[in-house]
Structure 1
């Protein structure tokens, strides 16, 4: 008995190890494919609307849905890079101020240490040569990484288009491999997995939208420089749970520390950003996302760390909803139910009931939920 349990544990550990190895070495193929699956679940309602309400053919509806996705994502990144370009050009225009500051520092070094300007120039030239070599290497890496991202993005769009066209065929294909008595359970797993992916992404988009409005009002009220760049970056980075919202709030505070000379203004701005962060964490996330991806904070952090280690930035984004899909599979598999319980988050207390009540009230889902239960 003990030996069989040990063999079972060893099998699970070996399988987990092989899965991680496969995910790591198959990243170039799996990342665009996984993004394609999740974006497909997001675009299915739009595709269904075009097919059923506007009576468009499946191919045309799938193409238009994919094109809408391309415009939205491509437009966001175009705005981000255009604002980043303006920021870099502005820094280059201010290089006189930077050089003036450097000259002042160098003169202070001469006055305090006796380290002459000639000696500083010799040391600076040596360091500059090394820095230029490193910069050349980094630039070539950035260029190759940009090409990889562009290819992955195009592959993702192709996958979305093809998945939308063949979405019913994939469903039928999976059902053909299931025995008759397990078809109902399999259908529930597929429907719930699709809903979790769809609602997680849609909920995250809603959080990003509301957060962007709050940031925009705050940045404009304080007349913060590079508002558009900070706003777009702050909204996009929040797609990474926990880490993203923290970075989206930290960067504007650092900019305010550099740009402003008024300590009262800096303090009040920092307090407002912290309040926005608290609203995002304790109101928006539970209201719009929390009930859709019922994972414990511990396993969300594990998903983020593991995803970042295996797939880099893409893993930071994808592994949380992937863990949500895994939890659904675990919950509907008797042997794996304990693992689903471990990953899950127990909803208790008046706080979550209060948020659920207002979520249903705001989104008009109260009556529909009652109809589903009856």
Structure 2
């Protein structure tokens, strides 16, 4: 009779497995991240593919058409963003004058509050500038590497999506071969629930991007804020990164406003409008769109997003939530890993189960 492995040994193996998995992701993120992103997008595009198949469109073309539609949508978003950045650059002389005025006001305030003369402030800035420029070469080379990585990423993405959709049945067969026949039904249920959860989540994010751009950009435009649409676009996409993205979006919104306006009231208008839009998004709109598709507790969400960013950059931060959601879905339906599902979940016990 085979002796059952002690629980402590099982937990130790699981933790070691997590560490090994993290190491693999860090070492191979340039391969894994495009594949993972393509997997999620292919789940979203499957209903479109099935629609074309019902119309008797050949399979190869039915796979190609949803990818073409996705490419057109992404191209339109990139065009919208670049057009707004171009409009911002056209106002660069005015931005220079506005920033110079803000810096003069800041210099006067520092001089009055802390006793540092403008000459001492200039000296400090010069010293820091030399340090900055000394490391600028490394920053630029890193940026060039990141840009080439993004181009490769975007180039591989449609190819991966195409083949994942084309060979979807092969992958399902591969997964089922790891299990006994009596477990097939449970595995199929998990696959279907994963497809539905990812599809609803990502489609919900697309809807979220649209209404945030409309509400925030339109609201700021009504108040006469310059670069209103650009602020709306930046905030909408940064808001895809839970918790951290909204904070960065607020900071960038304020900086863009300061660069184009001399009135402090405009900054307050931007912050107030972002607050109202966030309230509507978090409490009314997004819960109705996504519902309870993603129920990960905030602590795990933040740690997961930061870990994803450290391991795989921006794409890792974006994919952290859907990956955690799939893991919870699998853990909740697996006897040996239910405790991990509880840890990831948002169901907080009202009372402690400890007797002391």
Q: Where on the TM-score scale, by shorter chain, does this alignment land: which range?
A: 0.7 to 0.9
Checking the alignment, whether the CA contact within 8 Å between 1:36 and 1:156 is kept in structure 2 is yes
SS at match of 1:241: coil
Checking the alignment, whether the CA contact within 8 Å between 1:76 and 1:232 is kept in structure 2 is no
**1:302–1:290 Cα change, 3 Å:** farther
Q: For residues 3 and 179 of structure 1, what CA distance do their matches in structure 2 show? A: 21
Runs of 4+ in 1 over 6 A off after TM superposition: 99-110, 112-117, 123-127
Q: 1:363 aligns to what?
A: none
Q: 2:217 aligns to what?
A: 216
Deviation at 1:155, TM superposition (A): 0.9
Unaligned runs of 5+ in 1: 349-374
Q: 1:328 aligns to what?
A: 329
Q: For residues 99 and 271 of structure 1, what CA distance do their matches in structure 2 show? A: 25
* Structure 1 stretch displaced more, 332-341 or 127-136: 127-136
Q: For residues 313 and 206 of structure 1, what CA distance do their matches in structure 2 show? A: 21
SS at match of 2:22: helix
- Cα shift readout 1:46-105 (whole Å, capped 9, x = no counterpart): 11112213x211111111111111222233223323432442453256546666887999
**1:108–1:154 Cα change, 3 Å:** closer
Deviation at 1:187, TM superposition (A): 0.4
- Cα shift readout 1:134-190 (whole Å, capped 9, x = no counterpart): 333322321221111010111111100111111222223322332210100110111
**1:151–1:269 Cα change, 3 Å:** closer
SS at match of 1:71: helix
2:15 is the alignment partner of 1:13: yes
Q: 1:295 aligns to what?
A: 296
Checking the alignment, whether the CA contact within 8 Å between 2:231 and 2:256 is kept in structure 1 is no
Q: 1:286 aligns to what?
A: 287
Q: 1:90 aligns to what?
A: 91
Q: For residues 199 and 94 of structure 1, what CA distance do their matches in structure 2 show? A: 41
Deviation at 1:217, TM superposition (A): 2.1
Work out the number of aligned pairs and report it.
Answer: 343
2:63 is the alignment partner of 1:72: no
Checking the alignment, whether the CA contact within 8 Å between 1:260 and 1:266 is kept in structure 2 is no
Q: For residues 33 and 207 of structure 1, what CA distance do their matches in structure 2 show? A: 24
Q: For residues 228 and 170 of structure 1, what CA distance do their matches in structure 2 show? A: 42
Deviation at 1:302, TM superposition (A): 2.2
Checking the alignment, whether the CA contact within 8 Å between 1:246 and 1:277 is kept in structure 2 is no
SS at match of 1:153: helix
2:177 is the alignment partner of 1:182: no
* Structure 1 stretch displaced more, 151-160 or 163-172: 163-172
- Cα shift readout 1:345-374 (whole Å, capped 9, x = no counterpart): 3399xxxxxxxxxxxxxxxxxxxxxxxxxx
Checking the alignment, whether the CA contact within 8 Å between 2:64 and 2:162 is kept in structure 1 is yes
SS at match of 1:312: helix
Q: For residues 93 and 134 of structure 2, what CA distance do their matches in structure 1 show? A: 21
**1:283–1:9 Cα change, 3 Å:** same
TM-score (norm 2): 0.84
Unaligned runs of 5+ in 2: 350-356
Q: Root-mean-square deviation (CA), in Å?
A: 3.3
* Correspondence list, 1:121-200, <5 A: 131-200=132-201
